[in-house]
Structures are given as structure tokens and as C-alpha cells.
Amino acid sequence: MTLPIGTVYVTATTNRATVGRFNGNLVNGLLLLQVQTLNPSMIQGLAFGIFSFIDDDSNIRTLGDVKYYPKAEPTTIALGYGNRLTASGVVIFEPRSYNLAWIKRTGDGAFWGLNVETENTGVSIPGFTPSGFADGALGLTSTAFTAASGAQLAQVNWYD
């Protein structure tokens, strides 16, 4: 099930924008965000933004930061380290680029629009071990989830 977090519009001079609030369960310790660029239609390849989560209790970034590069299709990003069950706070977005003047030149208005939703309902972790990890030298975790489009997606992390 997809839950809306919010829609945000940033300009070339925006330093930080609050996208919306999240209060709920994490998926295997991760806050899964589906992000879609709404505007502009001509996307600058050098532009990116940083999504973060600021916790209500500590007022600090507790789930790390994730870079988002604008794309026409929805993109799923994951905030977190896998060691929390729930979170309560706000999702923020900080546009970054060497020069954000590309927003002014797009012809679609002088803003970058983003829609953000979360996938936070129960999912099962697929049970598999690729042969390269069978000897135990590397550890493997995976997270499965269904995107808003209905596609079944997975995130695989390995560690030593």
C-alpha cells in the first residue's frame, strides 16, 4: 500500500524543503520512498537532491541521506540502516548542483516539482543465497516491496 508523504516544489535558491511527515513502521529498518519528478519536463543531468529524515525525538538526521537524480519515471530510494522498527519525523529535500540556474531555463516554470510516497506495509524478504555468497565470506540481506505501479521490486545489500 502506498501512502503519500507530500509534494514539494523547489527553486534555484531553495536550500531545504520539508516534503512531509512520516510516522509509522519501517520495512526491514528502511524508509522506502517512491520519488517522481513532476516538473520540469527537460531534466538537467548534473542536478540532484538529497533526501533525509529528521527524527521528532532527537531533531537530527537519523536515517542517513540518499542522493536522488531526477528521472521521468518513479524511483524508489531507501533511507535507513536496518536497525529500527519505527520512525516519526519529517522527510526533507535539499536540491544540489554546481549551478541550479537550469531550473530557470527549463521553460516549464522556475521550479523543480517532486511527489513523494512511501511503501510501508508488510513485505516478505525473499529467501535465497546467490552462489557467490554461499561460502559465507560476504553476508547478504534483501528486502522485497511492491511499488505504487504494482511492480514487485527488491533491494539487495551485501556486507563483509
Dump pLDDT digits (tens) for 35-73. 998 877 666 666 788 999 999 999 999 899 999 988 878
- Let me know how long the chain is: 160
Tell me which DSSP letter residue 94 carries: E
Conformational region of residue 107, where left means phi above 0, alpha means psi within -120 to 50, and beta covers everything else: left
According to DSSP, the residues that pair with 21 across neighbouring strands are 90
Q: What is the pLDDT of residues 72-109, one digit of tens each?
A: 788 899 999 878 889 999 999 998 865 566 666 655 55
Which three-class secondary structure state does DSSP give residue 56? coil
Query: Is 40 or 26 the better-scoring residue by pLDDT?
Result: 26
Domains, the chain: 2-122 (2.60.120.260)
What are the residues whose beta carbons fall under 8 Å from the beta carbon of 125, sequence distance 6 or more?
A: 28, 141, 142, 143, 144
